[in-house]
């Protein structure tokens, strides 16, 4: 049923969304590492970090990764307004299986209910793509990125799902220009511009990280800029082929701004990870390197096989999150086990304001909730609350990659930091979700009602 007033979780601007009440629940995708059990969708009570519910998928082998909402604040956009719909469905793609699950959280938010499954064959037939990944609620449809075509090769791209029926509507691009590789996408709604990033084709990434591809600089290292309304490729931005794997895209939430941030996982020349700021200048989109996080020397005995020769741990920055006021950028260094915070009020001169340590390939730092216990994995999927005060993160990256960098097998957890007014961060000693008993690995977190990567806004 349509609502009489707009869904109360919709906000015209990010500024107003920051006034939203604090989140009470988190939904977390769980991946089965062994391959025999189905993946799960966990519901976490954020008041005490307890696991309320885990809903198993219908079959094993999906490899849940990222997911998103059916609709969000973009429904208030004035050129395609439909604000009387409800944010109640979670759209969960299986990155390996290409199956898409739709969960309804309205009737009982603590126990999401599976209401629809889109089978891989339908995705293949309707879109020509496979390996669905990022989900964003758009102004006119649900947008989903896909890493490759049906054979697991390039091109990857974007397809859309109908808002109401969730049926795949088809490929999004009308002209893909030079774009072949794909990973993430997001947009500047005020400028009708979409940005997409590059990881690798399914055939390149599914067997695990390849030193050969890395040394050959074969993974993605470009951004692509698109006309969102005309669905046309406008230009590419090459970040430099030493910067392998350009992943998460965090455009400014204010639609009048024209900059954003992207992380590159590893520089093959010095093992550093980097953040680039993209921006619009004289009608051309450009990017500039604004943060470099260097590799950390470590005892080779503590390192997994591929890293022994270097005697150093690469930070492997795998995810970033931008608070809704476009002020604090959270950066996950999954390799070194560090979560960093930067003040990016000046997007070209980020200033580090905080850092915490947990896990890490060599360090294995503990959480204050269990001081004696060495943790593996590191800060990975990171999500900031709408008010920009709390940040939640999990520790698993991608199954076949987890096993290379943490060969002892990641024992999964979720932790939280609080952000202070000055941008410093501190681990909440009372919040530690331990998934060891479940045995599955936590990936993306979605906060009830929305978070800092779930919604986009048409008003400043």
- Binding to another protein (CB under 8 A): which residues in 388-417? none
- Binding to another protein (CB under 8 A): which residues in 209-248? 228-229
Rounded to a whole number of angstroms, the distance between the first and last alpha carbons of the chain is 30
Interface pattern 131-160 for another protein (x via CB under 8 A)? --------xxx-------------------
391: enclosing H helix or E strand: strand 390-394
Q: What is the dihedral of CA 94, 140, 136, 120, to 10 degrees?
A: 10
- Counting other chains too, the contacts that 97-101 makes at CB distance below 8 Å and 24 or more residues apart are 97/59, 97/61, 97/62, 97/63, 98/123, 98/124, 98/130, 98/131, 98/132, 99/57, 99/59, 99/62, 99/123, 100/132, 100/144, 100/161, 100/166, 101/41, 101/57, 101/58, 101/62
User: According to CB under 8 A, which one of 40, 132, 209, 255 is a site residue for another protein?
Assistant: 255
Q: What are phi and psi of 108, to 5 degrees?
A: -140, 90
Assess 6 for contact with another protein (CB under 8 A).
yes
Q: What tokens were used for 112?
A: 């999401």
Assess 13 for contact with another protein (CB under 8 A).
yes
Residue closer to another protein, measured from CB, 2 or 36: 2
* Shortest Å distance, C-beta 128 to another protein: 22
Of 7-15, 57-65, 388-396, 446-454, the window that binds another protein (rule: CB under 8 A) is 7-15
Assess contact for 38 and 32: CB atoms under 8 A.
yes
Assess 2 for contact with another protein (CB under 8 A).
yes
Of 11-19, 25-33, 45-53, 329-337, the window that binds another protein (rule: CB under 8 A) is 11-19
User: According to CB under 8 A, which one of 41, 307, 433, 458 is a site residue for another protein?
Assistant: 458
Alpha helices (H) in 145-298, listed in sequence order = 202-205, 211-215
Assess 325 for contact with another protein (CB under 8 A).
no
43 to 25, 29, 367: CA distances (angstroms): 7, 9, 21
Interface pattern 159-198 for another protein (x via CB under 8 A)? ----xx------------------------xxxx------
Residue closer to another protein, measured from CB, 1 or 437: 1
**Using CA atoms, how far apart are residues 289 and 291, in angstroms rounded to an integer?**
6
Of 1-9, 110-118, 281-289, 431-439, the window that binds another protein (rule: CB under 8 A) is 1-9
Assess 431 for contact with another protein (CB under 8 A).
no
Q: What is the dihedral of CA 265, 376, 411, 385, to 10 degrees?
A: -60
Assess 261 for contact with another protein (CB under 8 A).
no
- Binding to another protein (CB under 8 A): which residues in 34-93? 76-85
* Shortest Å distance, C-beta 47 to another protein: 26
Number of residues that bind another protein (CB under 8 A): 37
Q: What tokens were used for 146?
A: 């896909």
Enumerate binding residues for another protein (CB under 8 A): 2-6, 8, 10-13, 16, 76-85, 139-141, 163-164, 189-192, 228-229, 255-256, 458-460
């Amino acid at each position: 049923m349509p609502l009489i007033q707009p869904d109360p979780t919709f906000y015209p601007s990010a500024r107003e969304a920051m006034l939203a009440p604090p989140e009470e629940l988190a939904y977390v995708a769980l991946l089965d590492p062994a391959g025999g059990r189905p993946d799960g969708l966990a519901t976490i009570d954020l008041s005490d970090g307890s696991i309320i519910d885990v809903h198993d998928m219908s079959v094993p082998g999906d490899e849940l990764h990222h997911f998103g909402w059916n609709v969000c604040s973009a429904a208030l956009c004035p050129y395609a307004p439909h604000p009387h719909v409800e944010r109640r469905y979670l759209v969960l793609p299986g990155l390996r299986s290409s199956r898409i699950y739709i969960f309804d959280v309205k009737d009982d938010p603590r126990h999401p209910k599976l209401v629809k499954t889109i089978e891989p064959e339908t995705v293949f037939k309707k879109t020509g793509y496979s390996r669905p990944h990022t989900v964003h609620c758009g102004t006119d449809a649900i947008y989903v990125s896909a890493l490759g075509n049906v054979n697991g090769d390039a091109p990857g791209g974007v397809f859309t799902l109908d808002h109401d029926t969730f049926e795949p509507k088809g490929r999004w691009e009308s002209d893909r220009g030079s774009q072949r590789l794909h990973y993430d996408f997001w947009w500047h709604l005020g400028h009708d511009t979409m940005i997409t990033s590059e990881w690798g084709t399914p055939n390149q990434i599914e067997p695990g990280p390849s030193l050969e591809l890395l040394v050959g600089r074969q993974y993605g290292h470009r951004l692509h800029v698109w006309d969102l309304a005309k669905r046309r490729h406008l230009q590419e931005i090459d970040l430099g082929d030493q910067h392998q794997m350009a992943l998460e895209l965090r455009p400014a939430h204010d639609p009048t701004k024209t900059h954003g941030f992207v992380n590159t996982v590893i520089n093959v020349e010095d093992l550093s990870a980097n953040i680039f700021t993209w921006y619009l200048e004289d009608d051309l989109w450009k990017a500039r390197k604004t943060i470099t996080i260097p590799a950390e020397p470590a005892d080779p005995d503590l390192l997994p096989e591929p890293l022994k020769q270097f005697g150093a741990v690469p930070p492997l920055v795998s995810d970033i999150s931008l608070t809704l006021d476009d002020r604090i950028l959270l950066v996950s260094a999954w390799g070194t086990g560090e979560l960093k915070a930067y003040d990016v009020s000046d997007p070209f001169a980020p200033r580090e304001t905080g850092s915490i340590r947990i896990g890490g390939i060599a360090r294995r730092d503990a959480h204050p909730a269990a001081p004696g216990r060495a943790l593996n994995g590191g800060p990975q999927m990171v999500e900031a609350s709408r008010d920009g005060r709390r940040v939640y993160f999990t520790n698993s990256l991608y199954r076949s990659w987890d096993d290379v960098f943490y060969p002892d097998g990641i024992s999964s957890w979720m932790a939280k930091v609080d952000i202070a007014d000055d941008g410093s961060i501190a681990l909440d000693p009372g919040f530690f979700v331990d998934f060891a008993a479940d045995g599955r690995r936590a990936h993306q977190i979605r906060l009830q009602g929305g978070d800092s990567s779930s919604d986009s806004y048409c008003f400043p």
